[in-house]
Amino acid sequence: MSRNLPDEQRIVITGIGLTAPNGDTLAEYRQALLDGKSGVVKFETRYMGELLAGVCNYDELKYQKKKELRRGTRAGSIGIYCSQEAVADSGLDWAAVEKARVGVYIGVTEHGNVETENEVYNISKYGYDTKFWSHHHNPRTVANNPAGEVTLNMGITGPHYTIGAACAAGNMGVIQGVQMLRLGEVDLALAGGVSESIHTFGIFASFNSEGALARHADPAKASRPFDRNRNGIVCSEGGCVYVLERLPDALKRGAKIVAEIAGYAINSDAYDYILPEPVRQAEAMRLALQRAGMEPQDVDLLSSHATATQLGDIQEVKAIREVFAGHDKLKINNTKSYIGHTMGAAGVLELTGNLPSLEDGLIHPTINLDDPDPECELPGLVANRPEQVERVDVIMNNSFGMLGINSVLVVKRFEK
Amino acid sequence: MTSEEVRKSILDIIADIAPDEDLSGIQDEVKLRDQFDLDSMDFLDIVMELRKRFNLEVPEADYPQLVTMSSCVEYLTPRLKDHQPVG
């Protein structure tokens, strides 16, 4: 079913580090997903009072000094935690790794808003006198900050890229890592995505003005993709980074191979600033399959992007229905229903929650689907309780973003 | 503030800027940079905190006056004599 690439072009995941609103390791996170445990809580936001958000509780001091935390950004800190955890999980002898041959590829939805808002607030306390504006503002807000902080913390001297791609960024970081490994630019990629977005009031305020900010008396019920009573996005922070390697390198060191990247696609809607376009989403899914040498029937599990906006969910469902018409064994789930929208981390974090199903065939459900919207009906949607299937060999992961950017990843169980 | 109060204020600022450091054994005559992990951005933080806490502007030409605790106290005490301790 899949394309025969030379081994040097085959890229595998050999380490995972993550922080999600409901878990700071893959084991914790997966268990929370199987237990239906949400990570959405009440959250105080500057100027806006109490809202809802997915908040992470990883140990910031595990890999950083207090001074690094003070100097840097939340996005940088999340990137560092996830990257360090990924390396620890990979079993690499980090001291022996040639740091000039390591690349860092971190997807973000946005960067710099948090620090800019903080500084504007800060100078408001001093009559808007800009001499009170911090000299740390520029290093905190340059667009390469999150990936750059990872290199500073870990002594990596290879290239670092922060990839801005709205809510498609988590997949994009991984895709960039795959491309650079295939090009031979690096021998090891730390690739994924991060979100610090809950620390900027602007993202909440903008979704609110757009009528797309989720509200619910019970925080755990607020994120409800595909439900008739969905009322918008829960903003969340989070991160997930993979160690990616070319297959021969991974085999040579006897690495534990979690999965192989089978295919990917990135395209643009060229349609609207915020409205998604199902025709292009479907094209992206088909292109990813084509590159993987697969047919829609080869996909066992689709990790959907749906964010619980009225229109967005319907548009993705249209695209899925079209691509997977007649594939009655396809299972579909949605992880935002637990953790909200982790923005730049969403793609890779949601895919990661599903990776253990390659091992155990257990699929975590979409929760909060109390009153399914007929317009979002999908036959294979796993709802409210986990489902055991015979086996999962192939997972597709959708991640779409504003300005019409679509990213799709296809991963498969590794087989020689 | 007295010179002792000025010294305490500077210690408070350094404690905020270098939160990982143990300041209990600080040597007043030794360069701050040689005792603690402080770089030029940290010294700009000291300047910023003096501005914020005491409305005191340290001209760039005077930055070398902030090199040791003793030189800080010597430089700042006359300039902060009309201030009350902060915090």
Choose the closest CB to B20 out of A66, A126, A135.
A66
Q: Looking at the domain assignment, is residue B69 inside a domain? A: yes
Q: Looking at the domain assignment, is residue B33 inside a domain? A: yes
Q: Residues A130-141: pLDDT tens digits?
A: 999 999 999 999
Picking from A175, A240, A237, A238, the residue whose alpha carbon sits closest to that of residue A17 is: A240
Identify how many contiguous H helices and E strands chain B contains and give both numbers. Answer: 4, 0
Q: Best residue in B23, B41, B53 to probe A by mutation, most A CBs within 10 Å?
A: B41
| Domain spans, chain A | 7-252, 264-412
Look at residue A336 and tell me whether its pLDDT is greater than 60.
Answer: yes
Look at residue A26 and tell me whether its pLDDT is greater than 80.
Answer: yes
Contact (CB<8Å) B41/A136: yes
pLDDT band at A333 (very low <50, low <70, confident <90, very high): very high
Look at residue A1 and tell me whether its pLDDT is greater than 60.
Answer: no
- From 3.40.47.10, 3.40.50.720, 2.70.70.10, 2.30.30.100, which CATH number describes the A7-252 domain? 3.40.47.10
Buried/exposed A141-179: b ≥16 CB within 10 Å, e otherwise: beebbbbbbbbebbebebbbbbbbbbbbbbbbbbbbbbe
Q: What average pLDDT does this structure show over A191-216?
A: 97
Q: Residues A98-131: pLDDT tens digits?
A: 999 999 999 999 999 999 999 999 999 999 999 9
Picking from A3, A20, A4, the residue whose alpha carbon sits closest to that of residue A240 is: A20
Q: What average pLDDT does this structure show over A264-269?
A: 98
Q: What average pLDDT does this structure show over B18-36?
A: 96
Q: What is the ipTM of this complex?
A: 0.94
pLDDT band at A2 (very low <50, low <70, confident <90, very high): low
Contact (CB<8Å) A66/B52: no
Q: What average pLDDT does this structure show over A144-161?
A: 98
Strand-pair partners of B68: B31
- From 3.10.20.30, 3.30.70.100, 3.40.190.80, 3.40.47.10, which CATH number describes the A264-412 domain? 3.40.47.10
- Asked if domains A7-252 and A264-412 share a fold, the reply is yes
Is residue A356 within 8 A of residue A327, CB to CB? The reply is no
**pLDDT averaged over chain A?**
97
Choose the closest CB to B48 out of A65, A66, A134.
A134
Q: Residues A13-23: pLDDT tens digits?
A: 999 999 999 99
Q: What average pLDDT does this structure show over A244-258?
A: 98
Is residue A18 within 8 A of residue A241, CB to CB? The reply is yes
Look at residue B87 and tell me whether its pLDDT is greater than 70.
Answer: no
Q: Looking at the domain assignment, is residue B70 inside a domain? A: yes
d(CA A93, CA A70): 29
**By residue range, what is the domain housing residue B61?**
3-79
Residue B46 maps to which CATH number? Answer: 1.10.1200.10
Q: What average pLDDT does this structure show over A293-317?
A: 98
Q: Percent of chain A beyond pLDDT 70?
A: 100
Q: Looking at the domain assignment, is residue B84 inside a domain? A: no
The predicted structure's pLDDT at residue A315: 97
Domain total for chain B? 1
**Where in the sequence numbering do the catalytic residues of A fall?**
167, 305, 341
Q: What average pLDDT does this structure show over B60-85?
A: 95
Look at residue B86 and tell me whether its pLDDT is greater than 80.
Answer: no
Contact (CB<8Å) A67/B19: yes
d(CA A194, CA A171): 11
The helix (run of H) or strand (run of E) holding residue A336 is helix A336-339
Residue A65 in contact with partner chain B when CB distance is under 8 A:
yes
The predicted structure's pLDDT at residue A40: 98
Q: Is the pTM of this model over 0.95?
A: yes
